[in-house]
């Protein structure tokens, strides 16, 4: 989104509006809010997200590329990003996604085994 599009958004978005901006289901947005991947304020039973928080999240403030994503290279079909503890995988095909998840799982198991000295 460009600056003009961001300024067209209200200062505070409902969960439905925020989900629309991110092009995700409202339940997915609620899970992200509950787990801290996205910051918001709960008013009664409903979530509100500031325009500033949406900009921070979308623009990837604090996102980092994992070693697996770096090893895939820029020409890879799948992209793996760790964003505030949330693992985000973008893949074109389901088989690509399965392979990326398998590789990431194996890497994390190896790292854990090294940490405990196995």
* 87-99 per-position pLDDT tens digit: 555 555 455 566 7
In sequence order, what are the residues at sequence separation of 6 or more whose Cβ sits closer than 8 angstroms to the Cβ of residue 72? 78, 79, 80, 100
Contact 14, 46 (CB under 8 A): yes
Tokens read off for 90: 């973008």
Question: Higher model confidence: residue 60 or residue 63?
Answer: 60
Q: What are the backbone angles phi and psi of residue 62, rounded to the nearest 5°?
A: 90, 0
Return the top range by mean pLDDT from 1-5, 14-18, 40-44: 14-18
In sequence order, what are the residues at sequence separation of 6 or more whose Cβ sits closer than 8 angstroms to the Cβ of residue 90? 78, 79, 81
Q: Looking at residues 48-57, what average pLDDT do you find?
A: 88
Can you count the helices (H) and strands (E) in the chain? 6, 6
Question: Higher model confidence: residue 20 or residue 92?
Answer: 20
Q: What percent of the chain has pLDDT over 70?
A: 65
Continuous segment of H or E residues that includes residue 100: helix 94-115
Question: pTM for this structure?
Answer: 0.50
Average pLDDT value over all residues in the chain: 74
Question: Higher model confidence: residue 14 or residue 117?
Answer: 14
Report DSSP state, residue 37.
S
**pLDDT exceeds 90 at position 17:** yes
Relative orientation angle of helices 15-22 and 51-58, to the nearest 10 degrees: 20
Dist CA 73 CA 102 (whole Å): 17
Q: What percent of the chain has pLDDT over 90?
A: 17
């Amino acid at each position: 989104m460009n600056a003009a599009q961001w300024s067209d958004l209200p200062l505070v978005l409902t969960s439905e509006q925020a989900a629309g901006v991110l092009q995700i289901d409202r339940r997915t947005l609620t899970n992200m809010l509950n787990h801290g991947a996205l910051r918001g304020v709960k008013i009664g039973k409903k979530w509100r997200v500031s325009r500033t928080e949406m900009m921070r999240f979308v623009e990837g403030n604090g996102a980092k590329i994992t070693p697996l994503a770096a090893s895939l290279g820029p020409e890879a079909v799948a992209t793996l990003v760790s964003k505030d503890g949330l693992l985000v995988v973008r893949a074109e095909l389901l088989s690509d996604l399965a392979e990326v998840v398998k590789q990431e799982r194996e890497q994390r198991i190896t790292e854990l085994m090294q940490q405990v000295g196995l």
